[in-house]
Amino acid sequence: MEVLSMKPLVNLIARNAFHSIRNISIGLLCLYGIISCSEEEVEYDQFSEAPAALGFRISDIEIQEGATSTVIEVGVSKRLFQEISFQLSIPSSSNEISVTDENGSSISTIRLGPHKATEKLIFTPADDTQYTGDRQLDIGLTDLHGEGVFITEELVSAQGQRLHPVLSVSITDDETPPISINMKNSVGEILEGATTPYTVQVVLSEAVTNPSSFEVILSGTAIADEDYRSSAVNGVIQVDVEEGESGFDIEIHPIDNPLLDGDKTVVLTITNAGQGFIVGAENVHTLTIVDDDSETATATIQLLVVKDAWFRGKPGSNRADENQGAANTLIASQGNRDDDNRQFYLQFDLSNIDVSKVSSAIVELTAERDWTDAETANQGKPTTQSVFRTADNWEELTITANNQPEILSPDPVATFTSDGLVGSVDLENPPVHPYDVTSVVKQESDGVLSLLFTTVFTNSRRITYTSKEAEGDRQPRLILEIKQ
């Protein structure tokens, strides 16, 4: 059995013990002032040396754009016994700041060793031609290679100095600051029924010396040209600022309605600053258009017909291409011949109506002439007119029996029957006949309502109403009751 020699181990233990006892003894003599000591008088080696901390000698520095910093030292807290290497961690693009040694040579990897405890660095921020504002870079240490050293995570005292894990570099922009564009106020409100506009004030930090421009974008829950009017085009106001100007006013005109539809907002945001301008921190103004309608109010809205026309004949008959869209009357009749049949169409614009809140929708038509003998033609029975919902693809001056739109409701959506319908008419005080179309109005989703009016057999006697071309207040209309 081979006996291992213990001599190398004994020598190692003895040597470490000797150095430790010696250093402790010298330290105590220095502590009590018995001898004067410096770092060089204390002997270190790779067996007794504690790990060295690595860091910057200062924690922060301020440098102007394009200038160079004073010498910045980065190094270790104690003497090294072997070479180490590390790199700077700069959280920005490589063009933001450059780093050289004290001789001006570019440096990326830093090397320290037994004969070099620190590296002297020069920092030079990039200089541009436009103002981007002051900024700060926090430079750290990374990619450390080598033993007996660590990157400090907190302040470490070494030989009367402190080591810092991060160097904060404050870069001062040397360009002239541009003119800042801000909103004078961030919020405001105006009543929906206000008769004067609301003014949004945009202010500049100083008067303009060279003409430039910026944009203001309008957004929010309010709808342009429905809840308010402004000078915006497609939601954008282009502002051209001339020399000497230092502000700009934007007017918002609220649009009143009788509906209890809640408050709406118009959000104005400054953007796209031109040369010499910069968008400031206060670049948004929120305007609230306050709904001033009473919760208990009942809203009645009258919509006049936007298109109406009548035509003669059934499809394919002799007079099926006739159009009466420009007439001041609307006629319905049904005779014995295909070319002796008359019908009329109405169209209403519901785009500004919340149909979900409609509780009643009545079409009112005003009688226009005497209908004597129509009752006799109908064998003594009351005359009934029927209303059908149709597609919206028709035009007032071109609709005919041959190109009339598709009927969307196979059954009538409304009817009106009365003995008075075929009686004589007092032209001074003509009767108004109602047609309840609430059900189809509440179903409308495209904002347009088209209706077809027909009648039962009248033996060619004509039932006549006034059209939108008629004078006075006798045009066809849709009366809406809106829930509040």
Lowest mean pLDDT among 39-43, 71-75, 175-179, 272-276: 39-43
CA–CA gap between residue 462 and residue 178 (Å, rounded): 77
pLDDT score for 153:
81
Confidence of residue 5 (pLDDT cuts 50, 70, 90): very low
Percent of the chain with pLDDT over 90: 51
| pLDDT tens, residue by residue, 426-436 | 667 777 889 99
Whats the size of the chain, residue-wise? 484
Percentages helix, strand, coil for the chain (3-state, rounded to 5) are: 10, 40, 50
**Residue scoring higher pLDDT (329 or 258):** 329
> Does pLDDT of 226 surpass 90?
yes
Give the residue ranges of DSSP H helices in 252-386: 374-377
CA–CA gap between residue 121 and residue 482 (Å, rounded): 77
**Section 206-235 average pLDDT:** 94
34: left (phi over 0), alpha (psi -120 to 50) or beta: alpha
> Does pLDDT of 21 surpass 90?
no
Q: Check residue 355 and report its DSSP letter.
A: G
**Residue scoring higher pLDDT (416 or 62):** 62
| pLDDT tens, residue by residue, 121-177 | 999 988 877 777 788 899 999 999 998 899 988 776 666 678 999 999 999 988 888
| pLDDT tens, residue by residue, 429-463 | 777 889 999 999 998 989 999 999 988 776 656 77
Rg over alpha carbons for the chain, rounded to the nearest Å, is 45
**Run of H or E residues at 383:** strand 383-390
Q: Check residue 113 and report its DSSP letter.
A: B
Neighbour count for residue 252 (Cβ, 10 Å): 25
**Section 383-389 average pLDDT:** 86
> Does pLDDT of 2 surpass 50?
no
pLDDT score for 10:
44
| pLDDT tens, residue by residue, 337-368 | 888 888 999 999 999 999 988 989 999 998 87
pLDDT score for 422:
45
CA–CA gap between residue 209 and residue 437 (Å, rounded): 64
* Domains assigned to the chain: 52-172 (2.60.40.2030), 179-290 (2.60.40.2030), 301-482 (2.60.120)
Q: Which 3 state secondary structure label does DSSP give 92? A: coil
Average pLDDT for the chain: 83
Lowest mean pLDDT among 28-42, 368-382, 415-429: 28-42
**Section 233-249 average pLDDT:** 94
pLDDT score for 31:
46
Q: Token pair for residue 102? A: 């004290």
